[in-house]
Amino acid sequence: MILAVMQPTYIPWLGYFDLINSADQFLFLDDVKLEKSDWHVRNKIKGNQGEIMLSQVVSTPNGRMGSVICDTEFKEKHPWRKKHLKSIEMNYRKAPFFNSIFGVIQQYFLNECNNLADFNIGLTQVFLKSLEIQTSVNRSSKLPKIAGVKDERLANFCDFFKSDKYLSPRGASAYIERHSPGGLLAKSGVEVFYQQFEHPKYYQCYPPFVSHLGVVDALMNLGADQTKQLIESGHKQPLHYSELYTSN
């Protein structure tokens, strides 16, 4: 069984959904430190002037270093949701699939969820449903206490889910491979693979094409069915950890 693990993201990009779609079990890693300047709380859409960053507004009474994703709340009474909806509406109202996609997003945004992890995980699951990606998902904060840090904890997650394969974003190789090939995952008998996703081009309302936007952009321009096909077209055979060394 293939396990993949990632921190929850606000309006994830296409590669995030490729990672989920490539796994049998996906785990939202939501009991780790919040990075306010990271994709935990922000992502990009596109307007006629180019990229637009949408940032959620959270409260960190204990400071950024003392904040954990699953315990983080939005700043009370801040109108960021209405602002984001307005920005999405203004920039995509001429998109081919605006009418079918915007209503779904609007309905979700107007719920009263005030927890960052709950909101972003729930929003991602709305997108998963639209894309008909049926991978089983869980949250690390809802599991029994799983000890360890970095690759040690990943190995323990694999043991918990009885996973013999671990699929990782390529960027995580820096800490997985830091001491030995495949890290503690490989030492525990888990085969480690790295995601290979090549971002495809697609129709956007306003040229030139910009990649690595939040999935909303593709959904608005292509619709759910074609966005799913787009994600599948960018999927490439994952790289076995041993190939990191034979290819150098």
Q: Report helix, strand and coil shares of the chain as percent, to nearest 5.
A: 45, 20, 35
Q: What confidence tens digit (pLDDT) does each residue in 71-130 have?
A: 999 999 999 999 999 999 999 999 999 999 999 999 999 988 999 999 999 999 999 999
pLDDT of residue 217: 98
- Note the Cα 127 to chain centre separation in Å: 11
Q: How confident is the model at residue 184 (pLDDT cuts 50, 70, 90)?
A: very high
Tell me the one-letter amino acid at 174.
A
Q: Look at residue 64 in the predicted model and tell me its pLDDT.
A: 64
204-243 pLDDT, tens digit each: 999 999 999 999 999 999 999 999 999 999 999 999 999 9
**Residue 220 half-sphere exposure, CB side, CA atoms within 13 Å?**
24
Can you list the positions of beta strands (E) in the chain?
A: 2-6, 25-28, 42-47, 50-55, 58-59, 73-74, 136-139, 165-168, 191-197, 235-240
Check pLDDT > 80 for residue 36. Answer: no
- Give pLDDT, residue 230: 98
| Mean pLDDT score across all residues of the chain | 95
For residues 202 and 221, give the distance between their C-alpha atoms in angstroms, rounded to a whole number: 8
End-to-end C-alpha distance for the chain, whole angstroms: 29
Phi, psi of 85 (to 5 degrees): -60, -40
> What average pLDDT score do residues 16-29 get?
98
Domains of the chain, by residue range, sit at: 2-246
Residue 62, pLDDT score: 74
